[in-house]
Amino acid sequence: MNTFLPGLVAERYRNSRIVSFSTGNVYPLRLVAEGGATESTPVGPIGEYAQSALGRERMFEYGSARWGTRVAILRLNYSVELRYGVLVDIGRAVFERRSVSLAMPSVNVIWQRDANSWCLRSFAHCQSPPFVLNITGPEILSVRDVAYEFGKHFGIAPTFVNDSGSTALLNDAGKARTLFGSPTATPAQMIEWIAHWIQQGGESLNKPTHFQTRDGKF
């Protein structure tokens, strides 16, 4: 699904512009103090999922090289909405009084609407060779701090496990912000919206992101 099928798509739609979602997982872990990976950071996928996502990129790169297909590759992490995402995982853990894992101590997030908007506007930037673009919000969020913010909304003191130290999977989307402007939703707004949704018993997709995973085995 991640590699062979994209190769078929690249061949079938060779005369189209293609915007392909990839993932920030193709980058190696970064020191939080150094900030997120940029598009020029050498890839270093950890585990089969990340390797297969890089394989997807390679399929579209091959198609672009062979047929001149104009492509944009979007390395996304992590999109969030009310029913799904890293913030939902953290918020539900706090609300349900489960310990929040700090195995991945920091994250980037972007509201799903903003990710969709940037995706659609990326069609104007498709090119051959492919145009690579990181997609995420500008903030590096401390998982611990996010949990405390949810705790304030819920009146619950969060608990923590697996404090892993100073590295995390982080993405720098400064290039995208230069093209598209800043995201419309801030982390504080997302946390408030999601907290209210959880408190009201809103629907969940029940698909944990497993963002805490450091070995690539999801």
Q: Which of 61-70, 78-87, 141-150, 160-169 has the lowest mean pLDDT?
A: 160-169
> What gap in Å lies between CA 183 and CA 175, rounded to an integer?
13
Helix (H, G, I), strand (E, B) or coil at 201: coil
pLDDT range class, residue 218, cuts 50, 70, 90 = confident
> Which pLDDT score is estimated for 163?
85
> Which pLDDT score is estimated for 181?
97
Asked if residues 83 and 111 have their Cβ atoms less than 8 Å apart, the reply is no
| Per-residue pLDDT tens over the stretch 150-192 | 999 999 999 999 987 899 999 999 999 999 999 999 999 999 9
Q: How far is CA 159 from CA 36, 101, 149, 192, in A?
A: 27, 9, 13, 20
Q: How far is CA 5 from CA 11, 74, 197, in A?
A: 10, 17, 36
For the segment 44-58, the average pLDDT, to the nearest whole number, is 97
- The amino acid sitting at 65 is A
> What gap in Å lies between CA 10 and CA 80, rounded to an integer?
28
For the segment 12-20, the average pLDDT, to the nearest whole number, is 98
The kind and range of the H/E element at 95 are helix 86-95
Q: Sketch the domain layout of the chain as residue ranges.
A: 4-199
SS3 string, 31-44, reads EHHHCCECCCCCCC
Asked if residues 10 and 18 have their Cβ atoms less than 8 Å apart, the reply is yes
Instruction: Round the average pLDDT of the chain to a whole number and report it.
Output: 97
For the segment 192-198, the average pLDDT, to the nearest whole number, is 98
Task: Tell if the pTM clears 0.75, that is, is over it.
Answer: yes
The kind and range of the H/E element at 80 are strand 79-80
Q: What angle do CA 40, 105, 158 make, to 5 degrees?
A: 150
> What gap in Å lies between CA 122 and CA 45, rounded to an integer?
24
> Which pLDDT score is estimated for 84?
98
For the segment 135-150, the average pLDDT, to the nearest whole number, is 98
> Which pLDDT score is estimated for 165?
83
> Which pLDDT score is estimated for 67?
98
Domain 4-199: assigned CATH number: 3.40.50.720
> Which pLDDT score is estimated for 14?
97
What does residue 131 show for φ and ψ, rounded to 5 degrees? -90, 120
For residue 81, pLDDT beyond 90: yes
